[in-house]
Amino acid sequence: MAAPKKAAASTAQDKTDGGSPPEFTREQELKALREMLLIRRFEEKAGQLYGMGAIGGFCHLYIGQEAVVVGMQMALKTGDQVITGYRDHGHMLATGMEANGVMAELTGRHGGYSKGKGGSMHMFSKEKHFYGGHGIVGAQVSLGTGLAFANHYRGNDNVSVTYFGDGAANQGQVYESFNMAELWKLPVIYVIENNRYAMGTSVSRASAQQDFSKRGASFNIPGQQVDGMDVRAVKAAGDEAAAWCRAGKGPFILEMQTYRYRGHSMSDPAKYRTREEVEKVRHDQDPIEQVRNRLLAAKVSEQDLKAIDAEVRDIVNASADFAQHDPEPDAAELWTDIYR
């Protein structure tokens, strides 16, 4: 198969097998650890609240995939936009949205980012340039291409980071968007979070081309496979893709090879994979443990790491408290925000 024409993109093997990615500074390692821990603890708490009936509807947890959004966010600058599908809590926290507002949206309260009218799958923040939170598989790919179109139209140097999964990668509008993005040289990074399962269907059962970095090949969009469990590899790939986009060279595809530990949603019978498979990834590749181990090896004390854990737990506990005590939206909110 033809490799992407633009050979500046490295091949998958370069990145995944070809040695370690660039080292992080201690400051970067600590930041990555804190951000990933915040997402993990937040999601664990969300799972608990769901079990208690405080969160309803659909709730898709991000546990296991934290390095993807945290590493990508470290490659971005203020003004870059982020958009994703329905497994979105991690993306929101990574962009700096408040845990209180996210958790209160999950419980359907007035203090949620969408005043309780969006729920788990539909939150937005203009301030943080987070454009949702979309429940139709693949729809965010066209929308994210539109964000990039707006950057191009305005002539700014912002980049749209458009996340979607290995399942959405089989939707038709993804390829309609790829075509336009390359045709018009739009600054968009397509981040395909390949967590190996589209709901209960494994990649091998759904995808004719399982190397998602090649999914843009027929449009000449360069792509790269990335170890999405290593936050340093994610950031390095994000830096490269962002530079490509900002240089006016058009879109870039990053296939993040990652894994979700929990079910597709809370009501997932998990018959499509073995417990051993999940345990093996957790044991061998956990993105948070990787950073923690490196920090310990670099002589950061257990105590310092525990302090980070404690700070994160406090934020998450406070958000859970807020989300359960904040009032439900006023009944009058039923009729607002339909038109402006």
Partner 1 sequence: MPIQVLMPALSPTMEKGNLSKWLKKEGETIKSGDVIAEIETDKATMEVEATDEGTLGKILIPEGTADVAVNTPIATILADGESAADLAKAPAPAQKAAESAAPAVAKAEAPAPKTAPAPQAIAEPDPEVPAGTEMVTQTIREALRDAMAEEMRRDADVFVMGEEVAEYQGAYKVTQGLLQEFGAKRVIDTPITEHGFAGVGVGAAMTGLKPIVEFMTFNFAMQAIDQIINSAAKTLYMSGGQMGCSIVFRGPNGAAARVAAQHSQDYSAWYSSVPGLKVVAPFSAADYKGLLKAAIRDPNPVIFLENEMLYGHTGEVPKLDDFVIPIGKARIVRSGGHVTIISWSNGMSYALKAADELAKDGIEAEVIDLRTLRPMDTETIINSVKKTGRAVTVEEGWAQSGVGAEIAARIMENAFDYLDAPVARVSGKDVPMPYAANLEKLALPSVAEVVEAAKAVCYR
- Site residues (vs partner 1, CB under 8 A): 81, 83, 112-118, 122-126, 131-136, 139, 141-150, 153-154, 172-173, 176-177, 179-180, 183, 336-340
Cβ nearer to partner 1, comparing 180 with 291: 180
Which of 105, 166 has the CB closer to partner 1? 105
Q: How far is 22 from 245, CA to CA, in rounded Å?
A: 21
In the structure encoding, which two tokens stand for residue 279, read together? 């345990």
Our CB check for partner 1 shows the closer of 42 and 149 to be 149
Question: Closest CB to partner 1 among 136 and 270?
Answer: 136
- Number of other residues whose CB lies within 10 A of the CB of residue 98: 17
> Least distance (Å) from partner 1 to the CB of residue 154?
8
Report, in Å, the least distance between residue 260 CB and partner 1: 24
In whole angstroms, give the CA distance from residue 140 to residue 233. 25
DSSP 167-184: TGGGSHHHHHHHHHHHHT
Helical H segments across the chain, by residue range: 12-16, 26-51, 66-74, 89-94, 99-106, 139-154, 172-183, 203-206, 231-246, 275-285, 287-297, 302-325
Least Å distance between CB 326 and partner 1?
A: 13
Q: How far is the CB of 327 from partner 1 (least distance, A)?
A: 14
**58: its two tokens:** 């659909």
With b for 16 or more beta-carbon neighbours within 10 A and e for fewer, the 264-298 pattern comes to bbbebeeebeeeeebeebeeebbbbebbbebbeee
Q: How far is the CB of 252 from partner 1 (least distance, A)?
A: 18
Of residues 167 and 263, the one with the C-beta less far from partner 1: 167
Phi/psi of residue 58, nearest 5 degrees: -95, 145
In degrees and rounded to multiples of 5, residue 252 shows phi and psi of -145, 140
Tokens encoding 254: 């990053």
Minimum distance from residue 248 beta carbon to partner 1 (Å): 14
Interatomic CA distance for residues 61 and 39, integer angstroms: 10
For partner 1, give the closer residue by CB, 94 or 148: 148
Cβ closer to partner 1: 147 or 226?
Answer: 147
Q: Which one, 131 or 322, has the nearer CB to partner 1?
A: 131
Name the amino acid, one letter, at 97: M
Closest separation between CB of residue 142 and partner 1, Å? 2
Least Cβ distance, residue 124 to partner 1 (angstroms): 4
Instruction: Compute the half-sphere exposure of residue 233: CA atoms within 13 Å on the CB side of its CA.
Output: 27
